[in-house]
């Protein structure tokens, strides 16, 4: 058994670890964007290179002759690496380019759900680039009218492609007024051709990831991410400073109906993708949701494991990840081969002190404890290793530290204690997974639903 793992970041380390724990003991042939020490320790072959260089990946695949590929990050998935590998006869646990539009185009995702009657979206409109100056002016006026009259100035602007240096901006946070929003929307539209403007919702966000093979959808434990850089949900947004799951695979602020509805939406979306694209989605479907006053709404969809979400979910996987991958590819995915431990996890990301604004600490040494306490994990991200075995900081998130316990509180304590033992010019969010922060989320939901 040989598996081609195309990846980067701590998510890739978590994927390699899940593959390595399989009773089938596969050889892992890794193509990684950096010399990740965690992946290198688990892989039989390690190729450090640009993961968007499909030609080189094809060369590696031809020589290694793997049984299947697992593709981790969004860029190669969105650009069609699964299509390229399938032309070699190599199946992938990742959707093809057309299906991956569920992530790579927010407009496609929203239009898909609307077309197939999946009532789970905030109010939205997709605006397209108009080369004719008169048409462009008309489009700009429509934006003003939609934001001002339909959304009453409470809006979100979303770049309609994989970020490309841009992303989501929210009124009241990043955009001070309607003029700011329209200017940013036009900038996005000029860059990628389309932009999504939608209603700003009030609620609490969460994620529900599912293994998908066609219309067969099996959920993983629900997760909550924390994007803000500093304690108390302050500072700029990041790729994610940490996450937690609960032992019942739900979250403390969700009702059973909320979780059931999110699960139903994932199933309906997988079915819609198959009907629309005329072929099955095979891989991970990541639903980003918001619990609101009257139920659950879709914020976004991703076509792969999240980072840090994978760091929480995969250590809880009690069944054979390789078998799950094989079943996704073969189209015989079933509930009996997917089992998760009934435990809670808390992940806290170690990052350079100046992250995310600067990269002042890049190249400096970071020291992790040599012996890990029971029920903890370290998944390496943007970190390098020199010839003497010393680890050095990159410019982005360094490592995800995970605690696993019977309760969130127990898992948080384990993660917190291990984080405090890391030495170097680094920091982490100490509040993720704490009763205080979770209690704030629950209070928000209680207030929203009491009105």
* DSSP at 80: T
Which SS3 state, helix, strand or coil, does residue 379 take?
strand
pLDDT tens-digit series, residues 385-431? 988 889 999 999 999 999 999 999 999 999 999 999 999 999 999 99
Q: Are strands 391-393 and 365-366 parallel, antiparallel or unpaired?
A: antiparallel
pLDDT for residue 446 is more than 90: yes
Can you tell me the mean pLDDT for 40-49?
Answer: 97
Task: Name which of 413, 244, 221, 247 is nearest 343 in CA terms.
Answer: 247
Which range among 155-169, 243-257, 364-378 shows the weakest confidence by mean pLDDT?
155-169
Is CATH 3.40.50.2300 correct for 204-439?
Answer: no
pLDDT, position 265? 98
Lowest mean pLDDT among 45-59, 152-166, 203-217: 152-166
Cα 257 from Cα 389, distance rounded (Å):
50
| pLDDT range class, residue 167, cuts 50, 70, 90 | confident
What pLDDT, on a 0 to 100 scale, did the predictor assign at position 132? 55
Residue 129, pLDDT score? 77
Rounded to two decimals, what is the model's pTM? 0.95
User: How many whole angstroms from its chain centre is CA 37?
Assistant: 22
CB-CB contact of 338 with 211 (8 Å): yes
Span 209-218, average pLDDT? 98
| Res 161: pLDDT | 81
pLDDT for res 8? 87
Per-residue pLDDT band for 189 (boundaries 50, 70, 90) equals confident
Other C-beta atoms lying within 10 Å of the C-beta of residue 446: 10
Fold classified for 123-199: Dna Ligase; domain 1 (3.30.1490)
Q: What is the mean predicted confidence (pLDDT) over 161-173?
A: 79
- Give the per-residue pLDDT at 400: 98
**Domain 2-94 belongs to what architecture?**
3-Layer(aba) Sandwich (3.40)
For the chain, the domains span: 2-94, 123-199, 204-439
Please state, for a pLDDT cut of 90, what percent of the chain lies above it. 90
Binned at pLDDT 50, 70 and 90, residue 140 comes out as confident
Q: pLDDT confidence of 108, banded at 50, 70, 90? A: very high
Sorting pLDDT into bands at 50, 70 and 90, what band is 342? very high
Q: Is pLDDT larger for residue 62 or for residue 389?
A: 62
Neighbour-count burial for 306-331, b at 16+ CB within 10 Å, e otherwise? bbbbbbbbbbbbeebbbebbbbbbee
Q: Parallel, antiparallel, or unpaired for β 155-159 and 194-199?
A: antiparallel
Structural tokens at position 134: 């008169």
Query: Tell me, what's the pLDDT at 341?
Result: 98
DSSP label of 375 = T
């Amino acid at each position: 058994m040989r598996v081609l793992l195309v990846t980067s970041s701590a998510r890739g380390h978590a994927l390699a670890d899940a593959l390595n724990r399989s009773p089938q003991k596969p050889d892992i042939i890794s193509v990684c964007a950096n010399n990740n020490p965690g992946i290198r320790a688990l892989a039989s072959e390690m190729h450090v290179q640009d993961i968007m260089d499909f030609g080189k990946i094809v060369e590696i695949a031809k020589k290694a002759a793997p049984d299947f590929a697992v593709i981790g990050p969004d860029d190669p998935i969105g650009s069609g690496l699964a299509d390229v590998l399938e032309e070699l006869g190599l199946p992938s646990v990742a959707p093809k380019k057309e299906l991956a539009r569920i992530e790579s185009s927010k407009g496609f995702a929203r239009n898909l759900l609307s077309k197939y009657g999946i009532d789970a979206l905030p109010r939205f409109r997709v605006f397209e680039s108009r080369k004719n100056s008169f048409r462009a002016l008309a489009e700009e006026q429509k934006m003003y009218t939609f934001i001002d009259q339909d959304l009453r100035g409470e809006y979100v602007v979303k770049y309609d492609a994989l970020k490309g240096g841009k992303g989501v901006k929210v009124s009241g946070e990043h955009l001070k007024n309607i003029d700011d929003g329209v200017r940013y929307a036009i900038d996005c539209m000029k860059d990628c051709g389309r932009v999504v403007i939608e209603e700003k919702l009030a609620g609490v966000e969460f994620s529900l990831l599912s293994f998908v093979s066609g219309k067969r959808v099996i959920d993983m434990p629900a997760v909550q991410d924390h994007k803000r850089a500093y304690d108390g949900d302050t500072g700029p947004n990041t790729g994610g400073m940490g996450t937690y799951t609960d032992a019942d695979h739900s979250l403390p602020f969700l009702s059973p109906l909320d979780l059931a509805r999110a699960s139903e939406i994932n199933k309906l979306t997988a079915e819609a993708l198959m009907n629309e694209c005329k072929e099955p989605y095979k891989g991970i479907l990541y639903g980003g949701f918001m619990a609101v006053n009257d139920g659950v709404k879709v914020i976004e969809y991703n076509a792969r494991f999240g980072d840090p979400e994978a760091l929480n979910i995969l250590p809880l996987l009690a069944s054979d990840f390789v078998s799950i991958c094989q079943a996704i590819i073969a189209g015989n995915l079933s509930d009996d081969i997917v089992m998760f431990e009934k435990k809670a996890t808390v992940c806290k990301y170690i990052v350079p002190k100046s992250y995310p604004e600067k990269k002042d600490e890049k190249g400096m040494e970071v020291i992790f404890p040599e012996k890990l306490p029971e029920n903890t994990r370290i998944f390496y991200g943007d970190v390098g290793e020199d010839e003497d075995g010393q680890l050095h900081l990159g410019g982005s998130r360094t490592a995800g530290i995970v605690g696993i316990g019977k309760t969130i509180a127990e898992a948080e304590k384990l993660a917190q204690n291990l984080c405090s033992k890391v030495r170097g010019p680094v920091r982490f969010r100490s509040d993720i997974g704490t009763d205080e922060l979770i209690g704030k989320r629950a209070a928000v939901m209680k207030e929203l639903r009491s009105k």
